[in-house]
Amino acid sequence: MAHIFLALFPLIALIATGYLFKKYHFFSDEFWLGAEKLNYYVLFPALLFYTLATANIDPHSVKTVITAMFVVLLMVTCVLYFLGFLKKIPPARFGVHVQSIIRFNTYIGLALVAALYQKEGMSILAILLALSVPVVNIISVLALTPSEQMSLKPVLIALIKNPLILSCILGGLVNVLHIPVWDGFTNLLKLFSASSLPLGLLCVGAALQFKEMRKDVPVLILDTFSRLLIMPAVAYFVCLHLGLSKLESQITVIFFALPTASAAYILTKVLKGDSQLMAAVISFQTLCAAVTLPLVIWWVG
Protein backbone atom coordinates (compact mmCIF):
# COMPACT_ATOMS: atom_id res chain seq x y z
CA MET A 1 0.00 0.00 0.00
CA ALA A 2 2.91 2.35 0.77
CA HIS A 3 4.31 1.68 -2.72
CA ILE A 4 0.91 2.48 -4.25
CA PHE A 5 0.63 5.79 -2.39
CA LEU A 6 4.22 6.62 -3.38
CA ALA A 7 3.27 6.13 -7.05
CA LEU A 8 0.02 8.09 -6.72
CA PHE A 9 1.40 11.07 -4.80
CA PRO A 10 3.07 12.86 -7.78
CA LEU A 11 -0.14 12.45 -9.83
CA ILE A 12 -2.34 13.90 -7.09
CA ALA A 13 0.17 16.69 -6.42
CA LEU A 14 0.27 17.69 -10.11
CA ILE A 15 -3.54 17.72 -10.38
CA ALA A 16 -3.80 19.79 -7.17
CA THR A 17 -1.11 22.18 -8.45
CA GLY A 18 -2.99 22.69 -11.72
CA TYR A 19 -6.19 23.41 -9.79
CA LEU A 20 -4.45 25.97 -7.55
CA PHE A 21 -2.71 27.62 -10.51
CA LYS A 22 -6.09 28.07 -12.22
CA LYS A 23 -7.95 29.15 -9.09
CA TYR A 24 -5.43 31.87 -8.16
CA HIS A 25 -4.84 32.96 -11.78
CA PHE A 26 -1.14 32.10 -11.76
CA PHE A 27 -1.52 31.71 -15.53
CA SER A 28 -4.10 33.27 -17.83
CA ASP A 29 -7.01 31.33 -19.34
CA GLU A 30 -5.25 31.62 -22.72
CA PHE A 31 -2.28 29.70 -21.29
CA TRP A 32 -4.47 26.75 -20.29
CA LEU A 33 -6.21 26.73 -23.68
CA GLY A 34 -2.80 26.69 -25.38
CA ALA A 35 -1.47 24.00 -23.05
CA GLU A 36 -4.47 21.74 -23.69
CA LYS A 37 -4.16 22.27 -27.45
CA LEU A 38 -0.40 21.53 -27.40
CA ASN A 39 -0.93 18.36 -25.42
CA TYR A 40 -3.93 17.16 -27.43
CA TYR A 41 -2.43 17.70 -30.88
CA VAL A 42 1.33 17.18 -30.31
CA LEU A 43 2.63 15.84 -27.00
CA PHE A 44 0.04 13.20 -26.14
CA PRO A 45 -0.18 11.74 -29.68
CA ALA A 46 3.64 11.51 -29.61
CA LEU A 47 3.43 9.58 -26.33
CA LEU A 48 0.82 7.15 -27.69
CA PHE A 49 2.75 6.65 -30.94
CA TYR A 50 6.06 6.06 -29.14
CA THR A 51 4.53 3.68 -26.57
CA LEU A 52 2.79 1.58 -29.22
CA ALA A 53 5.65 1.64 -31.73
CA THR A 54 8.16 0.38 -29.15
CA ALA A 55 5.84 -1.97 -27.22
CA ASN A 56 6.77 -5.65 -26.94
CA ILE A 57 3.47 -7.07 -28.12
CA ASP A 58 2.68 -10.75 -27.54
CA PRO A 59 -0.10 -11.86 -29.98
CA HIS A 60 -1.70 -14.20 -27.41
CA SER A 61 -1.73 -11.49 -24.72
CA VAL A 62 -3.16 -8.99 -27.18
CA LYS A 63 -6.02 -11.34 -28.02
CA THR A 64 -7.04 -12.03 -24.40
CA VAL A 65 -6.67 -8.42 -23.22
CA ILE A 66 -8.66 -7.08 -26.17
CA THR A 67 -11.37 -9.70 -25.63
CA ALA A 68 -11.67 -8.76 -21.94
CA MET A 69 -11.90 -5.05 -22.76
CA PHE A 70 -14.59 -5.48 -25.42
CA VAL A 71 -16.63 -7.86 -23.24
CA VAL A 72 -16.70 -5.31 -20.39
CA LEU A 73 -17.50 -2.37 -22.70
CA LEU A 74 -20.23 -4.31 -24.50
CA MET A 75 -21.88 -5.50 -21.27
CA VAL A 76 -21.84 -2.06 -19.65
CA THR A 77 -22.97 -0.21 -22.79
CA CYS A 78 -25.91 -2.60 -23.29
CA VAL A 79 -27.01 -2.11 -19.66
CA LEU A 80 -26.72 1.68 -19.98
CA TYR A 81 -28.76 1.80 -23.20
CA PHE A 82 -31.40 -0.49 -21.70
CA LEU A 83 -31.73 1.76 -18.62
CA GLY A 84 -31.71 4.89 -20.78
CA PHE A 85 -34.53 3.51 -22.93
CA LEU A 86 -36.46 2.28 -19.87
CA LYS A 87 -36.28 5.62 -18.06
CA LYS A 88 -36.54 7.70 -21.26
CA ILE A 89 -33.48 9.80 -20.42
CA PRO A 90 -32.95 12.61 -22.96
CA PRO A 91 -29.66 12.49 -24.95
CA ALA A 92 -28.33 15.65 -23.26
CA ARG A 93 -28.20 13.81 -19.93
CA PHE A 94 -27.91 10.24 -21.18
CA GLY A 95 -24.66 11.13 -22.94
CA VAL A 96 -23.29 12.43 -19.64
CA HIS A 97 -24.11 9.16 -17.84
CA VAL A 98 -22.54 7.09 -20.62
CA GLN A 99 -19.33 9.15 -20.68
CA SER A 100 -19.18 9.13 -16.88
CA ILE A 101 -19.03 5.34 -16.88
CA ILE A 102 -17.19 4.25 -20.05
CA ARG A 103 -14.63 7.04 -20.60
CA PHE A 104 -11.27 7.13 -18.83
CA ASN A 105 -8.55 9.66 -18.00
CA THR A 106 -5.58 8.56 -20.08
CA TYR A 107 -3.13 10.94 -18.38
CA ILE A 108 -3.77 9.43 -14.95
CA GLY A 109 -3.74 5.90 -16.37
CA LEU A 110 -0.44 6.21 -18.20
CA ALA A 111 1.31 8.02 -15.34
CA LEU A 112 0.08 5.46 -12.79
CA VAL A 113 0.93 2.36 -14.85
CA ALA A 114 4.36 3.77 -15.75
CA ALA A 115 5.12 4.32 -12.05
CA LEU A 116 3.86 0.92 -10.86
CA TYR A 117 4.46 -1.51 -13.74
CA GLN A 118 7.07 0.15 -15.97
CA LYS A 119 7.39 -0.84 -19.66
CA GLU A 120 5.62 -4.23 -19.43
CA GLY A 121 2.51 -2.63 -18.02
CA MET A 122 2.72 0.29 -20.46
CA SER A 123 2.71 -2.12 -23.41
CA ILE A 124 -0.56 -3.69 -22.23
CA LEU A 125 -2.14 -0.31 -21.48
CA ALA A 126 -1.07 1.01 -24.90
CA ILE A 127 -2.97 -1.83 -26.56
CA LEU A 128 -6.08 -1.06 -24.51
CA LEU A 129 -5.84 2.64 -25.37
CA ALA A 130 -5.27 2.04 -29.08
CA LEU A 131 -8.53 0.11 -29.45
CA SER A 132 -10.70 1.72 -26.78
CA VAL A 133 -10.16 5.38 -27.81
CA PRO A 134 -12.11 5.11 -31.11
CA VAL A 135 -14.75 2.76 -29.65
CA VAL A 136 -15.44 4.95 -26.61
CA ASN A 137 -15.56 8.09 -28.75
CA ILE A 138 -18.13 6.52 -31.08
CA ILE A 139 -20.32 5.39 -28.16
CA SER A 140 -20.08 8.83 -26.53
CA VAL A 141 -21.04 10.72 -29.70
CA LEU A 142 -23.99 8.41 -30.37
CA ALA A 143 -25.22 8.70 -26.77
CA LEU A 144 -25.24 12.51 -26.97
CA THR A 145 -26.89 12.67 -30.41
CA PRO A 146 -30.71 12.67 -30.74
CA SER A 147 -31.91 9.81 -32.95
CA GLU A 148 -33.31 12.19 -35.58
CA GLN A 149 -29.89 13.86 -35.99
CA MET A 150 -27.77 10.71 -36.30
CA SER A 151 -25.62 10.50 -39.41
CA LEU A 152 -22.68 8.21 -40.16
CA LYS A 153 -20.60 10.72 -42.14
CA PRO A 154 -20.03 13.37 -39.40
CA VAL A 155 -19.10 10.65 -36.87
CA LEU A 156 -16.56 9.10 -39.26
CA ILE A 157 -15.03 12.48 -40.12
CA ALA A 158 -14.67 13.36 -36.43
CA LEU A 159 -12.94 10.02 -35.75
CA ILE A 160 -10.58 10.33 -38.72
CA LYS A 161 -9.52 13.82 -37.57
CA ASN A 162 -8.88 12.68 -33.99
CA PRO A 163 -5.07 12.92 -33.39
CA LEU A 164 -5.17 10.32 -30.62
CA ILE A 165 -6.78 7.73 -32.87
CA LEU A 166 -4.36 8.51 -35.72
CA SER A 167 -1.30 8.22 -33.47
CA CYS A 168 -2.53 4.85 -32.12
CA ILE A 169 -3.07 3.51 -35.65
CA LEU A 170 0.33 4.72 -36.89
CA GLY A 171 2.18 3.45 -33.81
CA GLY A 172 0.51 0.06 -34.15
CA LEU A 173 1.41 -0.17 -37.84
CA VAL A 174 5.06 0.71 -37.14
CA ASN A 175 5.19 -2.04 -34.51
CA VAL A 176 3.38 -4.76 -36.46
CA LEU A 177 5.16 -4.06 -39.79
CA HIS A 178 8.56 -3.56 -38.08
CA ILE A 179 9.07 -0.19 -39.79
CA PRO A 180 12.42 1.30 -38.69
CA VAL A 181 12.33 4.72 -37.04
CA TRP A 182 15.34 7.06 -37.16
CA ASP A 183 17.03 7.38 -33.73
CA GLY A 184 16.89 11.18 -33.86
CA PHE A 185 13.12 11.10 -34.31
CA THR A 186 12.80 8.50 -31.54
CA ASN A 187 14.72 10.78 -29.15
CA LEU A 188 12.40 13.67 -30.08
CA LEU A 189 9.38 11.47 -29.32
CA LYS A 190 10.89 10.58 -25.94
CA LEU A 191 11.16 14.28 -25.03
CA PHE A 192 7.60 14.97 -26.18
CA SER A 193 6.38 11.93 -24.22
CA ALA A 194 8.18 13.03 -21.06
CA SER A 195 6.49 16.45 -21.31
CA SER A 196 3.00 15.13 -22.00
CA LEU A 197 2.00 13.52 -18.70
CA PRO A 198 3.03 16.35 -16.31
CA LEU A 199 1.37 18.96 -18.52
CA GLY A 200 -1.70 16.77 -18.99
CA LEU A 201 -2.15 16.27 -15.23
CA LEU A 202 -1.78 20.01 -14.62
CA CYS A 203 -4.51 20.60 -17.21
CA VAL A 204 -6.72 17.99 -15.51
CA GLY A 205 -6.42 19.98 -12.27
CA ALA A 206 -7.08 23.28 -14.04
CA ALA A 207 -10.29 21.87 -15.53
CA LEU A 208 -11.81 20.89 -12.17
CA GLN A 209 -15.01 22.78 -11.29
CA PHE A 210 -16.01 21.97 -7.74
CA LYS A 211 -18.82 24.55 -7.62
CA GLU A 212 -20.83 22.41 -10.03
CA MET A 213 -20.74 19.48 -7.59
CA ARG A 214 -23.56 20.95 -5.50
CA LYS A 215 -26.09 20.04 -8.19
CA ASP A 216 -27.51 16.55 -8.81
CA VAL A 217 -25.69 14.94 -5.87
CA PRO A 218 -27.48 11.55 -6.19
CA VAL A 219 -26.54 11.39 -9.88
CA LEU A 220 -22.92 12.29 -9.06
CA ILE A 221 -22.68 9.55 -6.45
CA LEU A 222 -24.31 6.89 -8.65
CA ASP A 223 -22.17 7.64 -11.73
CA THR A 224 -19.00 7.83 -9.64
CA PHE A 225 -19.71 4.61 -7.75
CA SER A 226 -20.45 2.85 -11.05
CA ARG A 227 -17.26 4.06 -12.73
CA LEU A 228 -14.73 3.76 -9.91
CA LEU A 229 -15.94 0.58 -8.18
CA ILE A 230 -18.49 -1.40 -10.23
CA MET A 231 -16.55 -1.17 -13.53
CA PRO A 232 -13.27 -2.53 -12.10
CA ALA A 233 -15.21 -5.29 -10.29
CA VAL A 234 -16.86 -6.35 -13.56
CA ALA A 235 -13.47 -6.20 -15.32
CA TYR A 236 -11.89 -8.33 -12.60
CA PHE A 237 -14.43 -11.14 -12.94
CA VAL A 238 -14.21 -11.03 -16.76
CA CYS A 239 -10.41 -11.33 -16.50
CA LEU A 240 -10.77 -14.30 -14.16
CA HIS A 241 -13.23 -15.99 -16.50
CA LEU A 242 -10.99 -15.47 -19.57
CA GLY A 243 -7.84 -16.63 -17.76
CA LEU A 244 -5.72 -13.47 -18.13
CA SER A 245 -2.31 -13.41 -16.45
CA LYS A 246 -1.83 -11.51 -13.21
CA LEU A 247 -0.22 -8.49 -14.90
CA GLU A 248 -2.80 -8.39 -17.69
CA SER A 249 -5.62 -8.55 -15.12
CA GLN A 250 -4.06 -5.79 -13.00
CA ILE A 251 -3.66 -3.40 -15.95
CA THR A 252 -7.15 -4.14 -17.30
CA VAL A 253 -8.81 -3.60 -13.91
CA ILE A 254 -6.87 -0.37 -13.30
CA PHE A 255 -7.88 0.81 -16.77
CA PHE A 256 -11.55 0.40 -15.84
CA ALA A 257 -11.01 2.03 -12.42
CA LEU A 258 -9.78 5.36 -13.83
CA PRO A 259 -11.96 8.46 -13.45
CA THR A 260 -13.70 9.75 -16.57
CA ALA A 261 -11.84 11.91 -19.09
CA SER A 262 -11.59 15.69 -18.83
CA ALA A 263 -12.21 15.86 -22.60
CA ALA A 264 -15.76 14.58 -21.97
CA TYR A 265 -16.70 18.14 -20.94
CA ILE A 266 -15.66 19.55 -24.34
CA LEU A 267 -17.53 16.89 -26.31
CA THR A 268 -20.65 17.36 -24.17
CA LYS A 269 -20.58 21.13 -24.70
CA VAL A 270 -20.04 20.84 -28.46
CA LEU A 271 -22.95 18.39 -28.84
CA LYS A 272 -25.23 20.51 -26.62
CA GLY A 273 -25.37 18.06 -23.72
CA ASP A 274 -25.63 18.91 -20.02
CA SER A 275 -22.09 20.30 -19.75
CA GLN A 276 -22.56 21.53 -16.15
CA LEU A 277 -23.42 18.03 -14.96
CA MET A 278 -20.48 16.64 -16.97
CA ALA A 279 -18.10 19.12 -15.31
CA ALA A 280 -19.42 18.10 -11.89
CA VAL A 281 -18.97 14.38 -12.62
CA ILE A 282 -15.40 14.89 -13.89
CA SER A 283 -14.45 16.89 -10.81
CA PHE A 284 -16.11 14.52 -8.33
CA GLN A 285 -14.68 11.37 -9.93
CA THR A 286 -11.16 12.82 -10.06
CA LEU A 287 -11.42 13.73 -6.38
CA CYS A 288 -12.79 10.32 -5.35
CA ALA A 289 -10.22 8.43 -7.44
CA ALA A 290 -7.52 9.54 -4.99
CA VAL A 291 -9.21 7.17 -2.51
CA THR A 292 -10.62 4.42 -4.75
CA LEU A 293 -7.58 3.84 -7.01
CA PRO A 294 -5.24 2.78 -4.17
CA LEU A 295 -7.95 0.41 -2.88
CA VAL A 296 -8.56 -1.13 -6.32
CA ILE A 297 -4.81 -1.55 -6.99
CA TRP A 298 -4.30 -3.16 -3.57
CA TRP A 299 -7.32 -5.45 -4.08
CA VAL A 300 -6.36 -6.62 -7.59
CA GLY A 301 -2.73 -7.05 -6.51
Contact 282, 207 (CB under 8 A): yes
Global pTM? 0.86
Q: How confident is the model at residue 258 (pLDDT cuts 50, 70, 90)?
A: very high
Contact 113, 125 (CB under 8 A): yes
Burial label, 92 (beta-carbon count in 10 A; 0-12, 13-18, 19+): middle
The full set of domains in the chain, from first to last, is 2-300 (1.20.1530.20)
Q: Is the pLDDT of residue 154 over 80?
A: no
What average pLDDT does range 137-163 have in this prediction? 76
Task: Please provide the average confidence, as pLDDT, over all residues in the chain.
Answer: 88
Per-residue pLDDT tens for 45-101? Answer: 898 898 888 877 767 668 889 999 999 999 999 999 999 999 889 999 999 999 999
Instruction: Write down the pLDDT at residue 189.
Output: 94
Per-residue pLDDT tens for 283-300? Answer: 899 989 989 999 999 998
